């Protein structure tokens, strides 16, 4: 059971290892764009190439869906970024376990956006948790975790791709452990739990009265979606790829201090953010160096002062 890109490598990995995938469950196709073209979930596209049976119910917990899955008598249900919460009646169907691939080191960052919030909060480490699905949000016992480091320049998009691959390896190892009767599940410490709520577009506007490191982490945690914005002379400009430095200064927060081939330097309460890539409305993403070849940035301008 999975829907977006993040779930595809797990499907491919299980198939390549020779596991019999009796059914692929994914969300409904959607209308996308102004032309209302039909957009199929990434998992459906991958499953079609593998000639696997596909099921796209409106509700995975209704009686019809339960009957479809019960008749298959699966050993496992593997869930990764499916998009619906499974009820107990469904969780109890597999002969062995209903397993989830979660992109954090549980019990930290339960919920919808663990990758983004790990970066926004400046974590230096994250990973994949393989857990048994039980009642509650990402709260079931953990079979094992695979860890990886997060460096200070990594974006949510880059971390997404790394964890996507790691999750595919982890689920194969998990099923091998269980098939060899070597599984040992460990209950989560619920007192240490934290949550990673869904992102929204309102988060895009930068508050320059925050610290340099906090702003830098937020920008990379919101890249690629919903992205980060600055209002420059009534134009909403998307910004990507930043660095930061701590320094005392006398500038108001949000003041453009410098703009050259090395980036756009903007003040915050305890230092500066250097913007390295930008995107104007209707234009392609580009480096600040290339942008300045045909454009100027006003030094001393304060972001949001229009």
Same domain, 181 and 216: no
Give me the domain span that covers residue 252. Answer: 201-291
**Tens digit of pLDDT for each residue in 109-154?**
999 999 999 999 999 999 999 999 998 899 999 999 999 999 999 9
Same domain, 64 and 156: yes
Is 65 contained in some domain? yes
Instruction: Confirm if 79 and 98 have CB atoms less than 8 A apart.
Output: yes
The proportion of the chain whose per-residue pLDDT surpasses 90, expressed as a percent, equals 95
Task: State the pLDDT at residue 32.
Answer: 79
pTM for the structure as a whole? 0.94
Is 262 contained in some domain? yes
Same domain, 249 and 211: yes
For residue 223, pLDDT beyond 70 = yes
Task: State the pLDDT at residue 55.
Answer: 98
**Tens digit of pLDDT for each residue in 266-294?**
999 999 999 999 999 999 999 999 999 99
Task: State the pLDDT at residue 305.
Answer: 62
Same domain, 19 and 138: yes
For residue 13, pLDDT beyond 60 = yes
Q: What is the CATH number of the domain that holds 26?
A: 3.40.50.170
For residue 306, pLDDT beyond 60 = no
Same domain, 223 and 162: no
For residue 7, pLDDT beyond 60 = yes
Is 248 contained in some domain? yes
Same domain, 29 and 121: yes
Same domain, 159 and 11: yes
* C-alpha to C-alpha distance for 280 and 62, rounded to whole angstroms: 46
* C-alpha to C-alpha distance for 132 and 138, rounded to whole angstroms: 9
The proportion of the chain whose per-residue pLDDT surpasses 70, expressed as a percent, equals 99
Task: State the pLDDT at residue 203.
Answer: 96
Residue 197's Cα: distance from chain center in Å?
11
For residue 108, pLDDT beyond 90 = yes
For residue 214, pLDDT beyond 60 = yes
Is 154 contained in some domain? yes
Q: Whose CA is closest to 49, among 1, 15, 98, 93? A: 15
Q: What is the CATH number of the domain that holds 240?
A: 3.10.25.10
**Tens digit of pLDDT for each residue in 86-107?**
999 999 999 999 999 999 999 9
- Cβ burial, residue 86 (10 Å; 0-12/13-18/19+): buried
**Domains of the chain: total:** 2
Q: What is the mean pLDDT of the chain?
A: 96
Task: State the pLDDT at residue 33.
Answer: 72
Same domain, 118 and 47: yes
Residues in Cβ contact with 125 at an 8 Å cutoff, skipping those fewer than 6 apart: 105, 147, 148, 149, 150
Is 35 contained in some domain? yes
Same domain, 111 and 185: yes
Same domain, 152 and 74: yes
Q: Which of 149, 169, 192 is the last residue of a domain?
A: 192
């Amino acid at each position: 059971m999975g829907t977006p890109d993040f779930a595809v490598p797990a499907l491919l990995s299980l198939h390549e290892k020779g596991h019999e995938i009796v059914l692929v469950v994914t969300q409904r196709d959607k209308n996308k764009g102004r032309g209302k073209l039909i957009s199929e979930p990434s998992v459906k596209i991958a499953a079609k190439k593998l000639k696997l049976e596909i099921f796209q119910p409106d509700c995975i917990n209704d009686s019809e869906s339960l009957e479809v899955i019960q008749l298959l008598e699966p050993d496992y249900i593997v869930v990764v970024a499916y998009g619906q919460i499974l009820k107990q009646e469904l969780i109890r169907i597999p002969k062995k376990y209903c397993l989830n691939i979660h992109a954090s080191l549980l019990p930290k960052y339960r919920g919808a956006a663990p990758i983004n919030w790990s970066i926004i909060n400046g974590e230096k480490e994250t990973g994949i948790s393989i857990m048994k699905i039980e009642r509650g949000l990402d709260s079931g016992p953990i079979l094992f975790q695979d860890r990886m480091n997060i460096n200070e320049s990594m974006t949510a998009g880059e971390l997404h791709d790394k964890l996507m691959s790691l999750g595919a390896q982890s689920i194969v190892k998990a099923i091998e452990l269980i098939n060899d009767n070597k599984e040992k599940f460990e209950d989560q410490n619920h007192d240490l739990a934290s949550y990673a709520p869904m992102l929204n577009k309102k988060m895009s506007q930068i508050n320059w009265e925050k610290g340099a490191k906090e702003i830098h982490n937020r920008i990379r945690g919101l890249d690629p979606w919903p992205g980060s914005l600055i209002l420059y002379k009534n134009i909403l400009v998307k910004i990507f790829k930043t660095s930061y430095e701590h320094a005392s200064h006398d500038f108001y927060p949000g003041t453009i201090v410098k703009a050259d081939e090395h980036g756009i330097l903007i003040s915050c309460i305890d230092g500066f953010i250097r913007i390295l890539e930008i995107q104007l409305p209707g234009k392609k993403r580009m480096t600040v160096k290339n942008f300045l070849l045909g454009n100027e940035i006003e030094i001393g301008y304060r972001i949001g002062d229009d």
